[in-house]
Amino acid sequence: MNTIMDAIGIEIIEVTKEKVIATMPVHGPTRQPYGLLHGGASVVLAETVASVGSMNLVDAETEAAVGLEINANHIRSVRDGNVTAVGKPLHIGRTTHIWEVKITDEATGKLVCVSRCTIAVIQK
């Protein structure tokens, strides 16, 4: 499909009603000029996880799940390897979903970023 997921290498690993897991490489397209994982790339990963999770919970025939608000705290830097995002729903309502997404460094298991994303459920 030619999406941002393809452009930066996000792969969805698992999707259930309870969680979504995705990975992303730390490489040229996801680094900032100092060679570190770009905070914006972490935000793209987090919103992707939340959106995919919400799409799994709505009626895809009549509804869509789109990002409404996101925040992120960048805790630790990463220069190489892969990061893994695990998203879990905090609230599943009729018109909004709220997800918590934790991104960790695959090499160390340490927390890199924590994000909260509000998803709007809209009619197609």
**Active-site position among 11, 14, 18, 47:** 47
**Residue 88: what pLDDT?**
98
Q: Indicate if 47 belongs to the active site.
A: yes
Tell me, rounded to whole angstroms, the distance of Cα 89 from its chain centroid.
12
The average confidence (pLDDT) of the chain is: 97
Q: What are phi and psi of 48, to 5 degrees?
A: -65, -45
CATH 3.10.129.10 is held by the domain 4-123: yes
3-state secondary structure at position 110? coil
Close Cβ partners of 103 (under 8 Å, ≥ 6 residues apart): 42, 45, 46, 83, 84, 85, 111, 112, 113, 114, 115
- Polymer length in residues for the chain: 124
Per-domain boundaries in the chain: 4-123
Looking at the DSSP bridge assignments, the partners of residue 74 are: 113
Percent of the chain with pLDDT over 90: 98
Nearest to 41, CA basis, from 29, 52, 53? 29
Could you identify the residue written with the tokens 């830097």?
77
Task: Please report the DSSP string for 22-91 in residue order.
Answer: EEEE-SGGGB-TTSSBPHHHHHHHHHHHHHHHHHTTS-TTTEEEEEEEEEEEE-S---SSEEEEEEEEEE
**Residue 100: what pLDDT?**
98
**Residue 1: what pLDDT?**
74
pLDDT in tens, 6-55: 999 999 999 999 999 999 999 999 999 999 999 999 999 999 999 999 99
